[in-house]
């Protein structure tokens, strides 16, 4: 090395006492270009300079320095990192597919691009969950897989998830004030009133209209164009065909079945649909069956397991298969109405 010249780049220094120029002053002394070997920081073995890739110095693009990790260790690290990334992505996709029933969409806004979807803690305990997983060295998707995907999680996009965390609700929620449990299939054109609660595995078809404060139990089916009045209650397993009409304060017990086709056939799409009409304040017991075109009057009560084949007059209690009236209001007009209705039932049996 000539006096007054940089030991690295060979350029002239400021004075004869300087060993490095200003550009090369920050280079560590262990990267002396005169050395032909270098110690790998990963495997701790001394290897020739040729075993290391060279990178451009940030302060001078004309200077290329050997990296601290040799090519072999760098390749192994890259392979391990790639494998871990793919494994984490696979676990995340599996969790999103499970909690969205294979449809991969946001439960709030319907976003279906997988890169924008995330997992949401429905109980709001995500911070504590992450702390516990960090202690166990588990990511959330892996923890869900190990624990067989427990309930209490849903799929939201990042926007909805962030809005829920900050404001406790999403500003572009389709149905504000509505509590929708997981695994529900609700069409985007459905109208749901404020205060309505929809439980698990409920299907709401296109054009359905639900009033305010309606409670829909799990595993219910609400057909296209169905109208449900305010404060109505549908228990588990209720089936309502297309264009059914339910008034206000209607109670449907578990597994109530309403039909709209008198002569059902496979592949018959041109049948004459006759949906039921349930007036306000009527009640249907568990497993009651309503045949096509039946109207249940106001304050009427249908007993459990009854098969209703004719219209039910208001303020009437019917039971049996076929359903017959057993009680009504005791005014003369109501007794005549009950008698006429009972005669109609007897004639239909002949």
> What are the angstrom distances between the C-alpha of 81 and each of 68, 77, 86, 145?
18, 6, 9, 21
Tell me, yes or no, whether 328 and 184 share the same domain: yes
Asked if residue 161 is part of any domain, the answer here is no
56-94 confidence digits (pLDDT tens) = 665 556 667 777 788 888 777 766 666 677 788 888 888
The answer on pLDDT for 48 being more than 50 is yes
CATH of the domain at 246: 2.160.10.10
Asked if residue 53 is part of any domain, the answer here is no
Give the chain's domain count.
Answer: 3
Q: How many CA atoms lie within 13 A of 142 on its CB side?
A: 14
Domain of 330 in residue numbering reads as 176-261+273-349
Tell me, yes or no, whether 232 and 139 share the same domain: no
Asked if residue 88 is part of any domain, the answer here is yes
132-191 confidence digits (pLDDT tens) = 777 666 788 888 888 888 888 888 888 888 877 776 666 656 666 677 776 788 887 888
pLDDT value at residue 307: 93
Tell me, yes or no, whether 182 and 115 share the same domain: no
Tell me, yes or no, whether 207 and 97 share the same domain: no
Mean pLDDT, the chain, rounded, equals 79
Asked if residue 253 is part of any domain, the answer here is yes
pLDDT value at residue 53: 79
Tell me, yes or no, whether 152 and 295 share the same domain: no
**Cα 185 to Cα 182: distance, rounded to the nearest angstrom:** 9
**Cα 79 to Cα 230: distance, rounded to the nearest angstrom:** 60
What percent of the chain clears pLDDT 90, i.e. is strictly above it? Answer: 22
265-324 confidence digits (pLDDT tens) = 888 777 888 999 999 888 899 999 999 999 999 888 899 999 999 999 888 889 888 888
**Cα 240 to Cα 222: distance, rounded to the nearest angstrom:** 5
Tell me, yes or no, whether 215 and 279 share the same domain: yes
Asked if residue 98 is part of any domain, the answer here is yes
**Cα 319 to Cα 313: distance, rounded to the nearest angstrom:** 13
Tell me, yes or no, whether 193 and 148 share the same domain: no
- Ramachandran angles phi, psi of 276, nearest 5°: -80, 165
Residue where a domain terminates, one of 156, 185, 211: 156
The answer on pLDDT for 205 being more than 60 is yes
Tell me, yes or no, whether 106 and 255 share the same domain: no
Neighbours of 172 (CB within 10 A): 10
Note the Cα 307 to chain centre separation in Å: 37
User: How confident is the model over 234-242, as a mean pLDDT?
Assistant: 93
Residue 30 pLDDT class (50, 70, 90 cuts): very low
User: How confident is the model over 95-109, as a mean pLDDT?
Assistant: 81
């Amino acid at each position: 090395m000539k006096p007054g010249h940089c030991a690295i780049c060979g350029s002239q220094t400021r004075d004869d006492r300087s060993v490095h120029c200003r550009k090369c002053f920050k280079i560590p002394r262990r990267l002396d270009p005169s050395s032909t070997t270098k110690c790998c920081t990963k495997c701790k073995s001394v290897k020739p300079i040729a075993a290391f890739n060279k990178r451009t110095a940030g302060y001078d693009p004309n200077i290329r320095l050997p990296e601290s990790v040799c090519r072999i260790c760098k390749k192994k690290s890259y392979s391990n990192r790639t494998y871990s990334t793919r494994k984490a992505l696979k676990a995340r996709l599996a969790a999103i597919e499970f909690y969205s029933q294979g449809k991969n969409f946001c439960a709030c806004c319907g976003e279906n691009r997988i890169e924008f979807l995330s997992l949401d803690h429905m109980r709001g305990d995500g911070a504590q969950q992450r702390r516990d997983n960090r202690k166990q060295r588990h990511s959330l998707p892996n923890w869900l897989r190990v624990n067989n995907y427990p309930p209490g999680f849903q799929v939201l996009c990042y926007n909805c998830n962030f809005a829920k965390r900050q404001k406790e609700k999403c500003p572009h929620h389709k149905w504000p004030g509505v509590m929708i449990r997981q695994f529900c299939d609700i069409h985007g054109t459905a109208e749901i009133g404020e205060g309505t609660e929809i439980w698990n595995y409920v299907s709401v078809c296109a054009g359905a209209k639900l009033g305010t404060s309606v409670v829909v139990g799990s595993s219910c089916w609400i057909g296209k164009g169905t109208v449900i009045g305010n404060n109505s209650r549908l228990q588990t397993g209720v089936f309502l065909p297309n264009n059914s009409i339910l008034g206000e304060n209607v109670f449907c017990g578990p597994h109530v079945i309403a039909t709209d086709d008198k002569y059902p056939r496979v592949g018959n799409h041109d049948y004459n649909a006759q949906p039921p009409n349930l007036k306000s304040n009527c009640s249907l017991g568990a497993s009651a069956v309503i045949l096509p075109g039946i109207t249940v009057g106001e304050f009427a009560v249908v007993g459990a397991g009854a098969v209703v084949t004719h219209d039910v007059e208001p303020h009437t209690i019917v039971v049996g298969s076929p359903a017959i009236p057993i009680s009504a209001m005791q005014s003369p007009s109501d007794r005549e109405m009950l008698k006429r209705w009972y005669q109609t039932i007897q004639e239909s049996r002949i």
